[in-house]
Structure 1
Amino acid sequence: MEQTISFNPATKEEIARYHKNSYKEVLDAIIRAKASSKLWQQIPINKRKKSILKIRKYLVNNYLEVAETISADNGKVLTDAYVAEVLPAIMAVGFYTKYCKKWLKPHIIPGNSMLTFNKCSKVHYQPYGVIGIISPWNYPFSIPFSEVVMALLAGNGVILKCSRDTLVVGHLLEKVIQQADLPDGLFSLINIGGSEAVDAFIEGGIDKIFFTGSVPTGIEIQKKCSDRLIPTVLELGGNDPAIVCNDADLGKAAWGIIWAGFQNSGQSCGGAQRIIVDQQVYDKFCSILNEKVSGLRPGKNVTDDSFEDGEIGFMTNSKQKETVINQVIKSLELGAILNSISPLPEELRVKLFKDQKEEEYMEKVTSSKEDSINFLQSLLKEETNFLPAMVLTEINQQMPIFCEEVFGPAIGIISFDYIEQAIDMANDSRFGLTGSVWSQNIKLANQIAKKLECGVIMINDHLMSHGLANTPWGGYKYSGIGRTHGKAGFMEMTRQKVIIKDKLTFAKKQLWWHPYNQKVWGGLVGAMEFLYSKNIKDKFSGFCKLFKIISRFFEK
């Protein structure tokens, strides 16, 4: 029986083994979900809400266990696991259970013409049936959690395929969802390769797919789904800009950008990466930022009474670590400068620099391009998944740090001379997920935000918008299709059905039905003249023509 082995990214220790599902097992799971979803959608929304609220109760009572599991499986520090995953999940349940009934309530569409006064249109929102969710390893709990909750509340069944890098969290999520006492088969967690999962979803007749991950994989999923017109929601990534204006609170901007760029070891598609700073405050901002970065501690994840949690955790997998290092090295080779780094874990420091003190080795690795590259190449050879926070300056728009998604703890700073130049720089990307503007002039910040080609713009903050359950999340360009979160995200879990009926139930015929004749033609043209002509005489003439065919309502 084939298994998947899970390792702690920080210690490289094995922490669990899980059965790998076969293709047929996935197809069987879809069949069960389809059967259960037909029963689930018949359950009144108030009862569905009551079931889902049990999940929140469990999370509130077990938040530490959940955060510790996420930290151990993903590599992020414990506080990141709580703040960016557990707490948003708790808040999301409250928000969606509060508003789902209102959103799902059928509503009447007002009429738009006297000619169709007899028609009453009502929109109904119905579940798709079974939703397939393919989730990533960077936020292995919070990203799929909200999607699962929304799908279930809307009346759908769910098949969740989580990343093999964070299967422990996937099984934790399964345990959490089971607290809702759902019908058998309504929710299933599967462990199978991503391409196989998509093929099984399509063959099994999944009704909609939600995918969070890389651009190439998202495009491939979209192509496969297009053959059967299966709708998708894709959240694919970004290399987000942060514009720092000359009137910004530089200390606040530095802390906000540090958090958005380095929390979760920079493995955030909506994190700050391209820092675009007004030339007038460029040097001062860099100085403030460097000082704060040098104080970021490697994560320790201690949870006893002497709690001490650092800020920089471990990369989730070695492949991503290597990718980030190579992107930074390439940027340095093209002229960028490694301006500052955060401290290394003690064991790694001793291994690489022996008895050199923290300030000594940090100064050395940033003293020259050669020393910086040698340092990064040394990290590349180490088995550890740890990467320090890295700040690059003297960057340009052709470097990987600017034009690619750098999914790790590295940010680049570039200066601008005038606002329109900053906007052009920010928009010079194939991505458009999120961005931020840092200014004490909120009117100016709003004006800039409106010109940025991103799905979400924050003013004097960055990244945390993903934790706002009430706010739509999604991007422009190659950052994806559709929305998650908020009402917009919830309604992605439903499809509209419009039911139209006559107000005059006794009517035998519509004005425009067969048979056609000169009188019918004249009456319908008269309706247009009566409704839209600006000439009073034509209006009256049109009304008379229309009146002559009103009797059609009563003709057999």
Structure 2
Amino acid sequence: MLSTKVEPHQLPSLGSFVRGKDVESGKWVYSLSARAVLDDSFANLTLKRNLEAGRVSAADVAPGVLVGRVSVADPDTVQDALAAAAEATRLWRSVPLSVRLEDWNRLLREAIHDNERELIDMLTLEGHPLELARWELSGMYELTRPETTGFLRSQLWQEFAIGARRNIVRRQPDGVVCVNPPANAPLVSALLGVTSIAGGNAVVLRAPRTAPFGVSSVLRNVIAPVLDELGAPPGLLNIVCGHPGPMLDAWIASEHVDDIMYFGDVGPGLKIERRCVEAGKKPILELAGNDIVLVWRDADLEGAADAIVEGFYGSGQLCMVPNRAIVHPAVADELIELVRVRATALKPGYPDEEGVLLSPVLRHDKFTRYLEDAVEKGATVVTGGKGMQIDGTLDEAGFFLQPTVLRVDGLSRAGELSAVADETFFPLMPIIVPHAAEDATLFDSFLEFVNASPYGLRNSLWARDDAVIDRFVAQTVKGGLLKVNDSHIAFTAPLPSHGGTGLTGGAFGEANFPVLRTTHLQGVSIIRPEHREGHDAHTR
């Protein structure tokens, strides 16, 4: 079981994890508790810098401030982790699929269940509100359900008897998969990345310097024991902490690396994609999302309002929450009022408190620019627009932002607003109300707007009319996931939890099951020797 309690002057310390062993470099990065940062960000972030520069000793830090520390990997350790992974995958890829998929998923699911309380604690220590942490963990449960396992099995191996031939279509592992999780959600992204092990791959994962302890401790204390129980070779899972730039450079240059799974912003992500392709490596990108909720005239407006307000979870700092909505003008006033009531009920607080869904937003300048841009171009502020302290007191210097709802009248020019065109990553929800028109024309414009988006993570629809639903499903080509009359963000097996097209997933983007994205198709035809005599090689 994990331990998240930090006793005075007894700071948990973790080295790099390579070949199943701790490797310390003598240099450390420190993880602070979210409460400490919220109580006094300037002092405690300064403390983190001083600790990492060696100007302050951890023994002198007050209890409750530090969660733990992780060793920074030196270049030799980074290279050894890659070599260890290459050695391990050569053994692991020959293990029967029943072991590395079915047994792995079953044991992984059990391990998550047995450590659920501790995993949630680690997520809140990263700053994720409790409800958000529970939602994030639900994604891992869905990813390891028997239904998902069965689907993945069907994709990884199929056999056909064609005359005397035993024909197999299977997916083979790419090899060494390097995972770069994002600073805003390192632990759950790391857990997603390591599921590529079921495809026969080995994993090298970078623990972000901003919050390395949760990733390092959970993968070491929850995931590594599952691999040990399966008899996996040492080196199948490696964890190294370091700056992203030099680490990515080392991965791209290494002869051992086959795939790089990168979570992050669009600009850097697309540059990584180009570098990977040039180096002959597969880029797997999880970048920005700018999701749309469509609300038709016959929709369940209460349900639709709930889905739209999911855009404020974590203060909008999640790629897969909705960023904008389009509503039929006949029900726009009612829907916007329902959203307003729900948005104003959301309150800031410490992440380990029940009922808190908002997270701190460290910089408000971009939010202010986007809000001012929207108002200048005709949008109306329905509610919000101000900064807050953790107790809800309005304060432009506070860490939190009020959930902010905008009304944007007219669809044709809505894309001129930065708050509509771009992923915002803060709690700002534009609700677009098209001008009145015939329903057929209106729905055409809805679909055109969705398919014209350069992003493609997920989109959702609220409607009762089967014909409207069928058109949405048949004609929406953008996105890794479509939801109809359902929570925009809920995970549900065996659907993919991540992945998408366009700016979300890059040129090779699609729905992301890491087990499938880190493998490749291969065909096999077998004729037994005793069946070979007299067999026409051209038999159809």
Whether contact under 8 Å (1:88, 1:469) holds in the other structure is: no
Residue 248 (structure 1) aligned to one of 299, 319, 324? 299
Cα distance change on mapping 1:506 and 1:433 into 2, 3 Å? same
Residue 70 (structure 2) aligned to one of 1, 18, 38? 18
1:413 matched residue in structure 2: 431
CA distance, structure 1, for counterparts of residue 212 and residue 253 of structure 2 = 24
How many equivalent pairs are there? 465
Cα distance change on mapping 1:426 and 1:155 into 2, 3 Å? closer
SS in 2 for 1:335: coil
Residue 495 (structure 1) aligned to one of 520, 525, 535? 520
SS in 1 for 2:532: coil
CA distance, structure 1, for counterparts of residue 164 and residue 150 of structure 2 = 35
Structure 2 unaligned regions, length at least 5: 1-25, 45-64, 437-441
Cα distance change on mapping 1:394 and 1:87 into 2, 3 Å? closer
SS in 2 for 1:435: strand
CA distance, structure 1, for counterparts of residue 509 and residue 452 of structure 2 = 22
SS in 2 for 1:294: helix
Whether contact under 8 Å (1:295, 1:343) holds in the other structure is: no
1:148 matched residue in structure 2: 194
For residues 324-339 of structure 1, the aligned pairs below 5 Å read: 324-339=367-382
Deviations 1:508-544 (A, max 9, x none): 9978xxxxxxxxxxxxxxx9xxx9xxxxxxxxxxxxx
2:122 matched residue in structure 1: 69
Residue 501 (structure 2) aligned to one of 476, 479, 482? 476
- Structure with higher strand content: 2
CA distance, structure 2, for counterparts of residue 509 and residue 66 of structure 1 = 59
2:469 matches 1:452: no
Letter of the 2:125 partner, please give it.
Answer: A
SS in 2 for 1:66: helix
1:425 matched residue in structure 2: 449
CA distance, structure 1, for counterparts of residue 462 and residue 262 of structure 2 = 31
Deviations 1:324-350 (A, max 9, x none): 343333323433232112997665654
Whether contact under 8 Å (1:209, 1:233) holds in the other structure is: yes
2:230 matches 1:230: no
Letter of the 1:426 partner, please give it.
Answer: V
Residue 272 (structure 1) aligned to one of 316, 322, 327? 322
1:394 matched residue in structure 2: 408
Cα distance change on mapping 1:343 and 1:58 into 2, 3 Å? farther
Cα distance change on mapping 1:159 and 1:422 into 2, 3 Å? same
Letter of the 2:301 partner, please give it.
Answer: L
Cα distance change on mapping 1:342 and 1:215 into 2, 3 Å? closer
Deviations 1:283-309 (A, max 9, x none): 221112111211112234456xxxx32
2:83 matches 1:31: yes
2:264 matches 1:202: no
SS in 1 for 2:415: coil
Cα distance change on mapping 1:154 and 1:322 into 2, 3 Å? same
Residue 385 (structure 1) aligned to one of 366, 385, 399? 399
Deviation at 1:474, TM superposition (A): 2.4
SS in 2 for 1:179: helix
2:199 matches 1:171: no
Whether contact under 8 Å (2:406, 2:429) holds in the other structure is: yes
Deviation at 1:81, TM superposition (A): 0.4
The percent of aligned pairs where both chains have the same amino acid is 22
CA distance, structure 1, for counterparts of residue 315 and residue 204 of structure 2 = 29
Whether contact under 8 Å (1:474, 1:482) holds in the other structure is: yes
Deviation at 1:405, TM superposition (A): 0.7
Cα distance change on mapping 1:210 and 1:350 into 2, 3 Å? closer
CA distance, structure 1, for counterparts of residue 158 and residue 393 of structure 2 = 65
Cα distance change on mapping 1:328 and 1:193 into 2, 3 Å? farther
Whether contact under 8 Å (2:172, 2:519) holds in the other structure is: yes
CA distance, structure 2, for counterparts of residue 28 and residue 187 of structure 1 = 12
| C-alpha RMSD over aligned residues | 3.0
Cα distance change on mapping 1:450 and 1:414 into 2, 3 Å? same
1:43 matched residue in structure 2: 95
Whether contact under 8 Å (2:115, 2:222) holds in the other structure is: no
Whether contact under 8 Å (1:262, 1:389) holds in the other structure is: yes
Cα distance change on mapping 1:107 and 1:216 into 2, 3 Å? same
Letter of the 2:371 partner, please give it.
Answer: V
CA distance, structure 2, for counterparts of residue 470 and residue 167 of structure 1 = 29
TM-score by structure 2 length?
Answer: 0.78
SS in 1 for 2:303: helix
Deviation at 1:463, TM superposition (A): 3.1
- Structure with higher helix content: 1
CA distance, structure 2, for counterparts of residue 415 and residue 146 of structure 1 = 37
Whether contact under 8 Å (1:29, 1:185) holds in the other structure is: yes
Deviation at 1:68, TM superposition (A): 1.9
Whether contact under 8 Å (2:459, 2:482) holds in the other structure is: yes
2:308 matches 1:257: yes
Greater shift, 385-394 or 139-148, is seen at 139-148
Greater shift, 120-129 or 205-214, is seen at 120-129
Letter of the 1:202 partner, please give it.
Answer: I
Whether contact under 8 Å (1:19, 1:191) holds in the other structure is: yes
Cα distance change on mapping 1:410 and 1:162 into 2, 3 Å? farther
2:131 matches 1:79: yes
Structure 1 unaligned regions, length at least 5: 111-116, 353-377, 512-526, 532-556
CA distance, structure 2, for counterparts of residue 102 and residue 403 of structure 1 = 39
Letter of the 1:172 partner, please give it.
Answer: S
Letter of the 2:379 partner, please give it.
Answer: A
CA distance, structure 2, for counterparts of residue 464 and residue 457 of structure 1 = 10
SS in 1 for 2:131: helix
2:290 matches 1:239: yes
Greater shift, 273-282 or 174-183, is seen at 174-183
CA distance, structure 1, for counterparts of residue 293 and residue 152 of structure 2 = 34
Letter of the 1:505 partner, please give it.
Answer: R
Cα distance change on mapping 1:479 and 1:47 into 2, 3 Å? closer
CA distance, structure 1, for counterparts of residue 278 and residue 512 of structure 2 = 27
SS in 2 for 1:464: coil
Deviations 1:411-447 (A, max 9, x none): 1011123222222333342112211111122331231
Higher Cα Rg: structure 1 or 2? 1
Residue 190 (structure 1) aligned to one of 240, 244, 247? 240
Cα distance change on mapping 1:465 and 1:269 into 2, 3 Å? same
Greater shift, 121-130 or 41-50, is seen at 41-50
CA distance, structure 2, for counterparts of residue 451 and residue 20 of structure 1 = 49
SS in 2 for 1:184: coil
SS in 2 for 1:238: coil
SS in 2 for 1:158: strand
Deviation at 1:498, TM superposition (A): 2.5
Whether contact under 8 Å (1:265, 1:409) holds in the other structure is: yes
SS in 2 for 1:479: coil
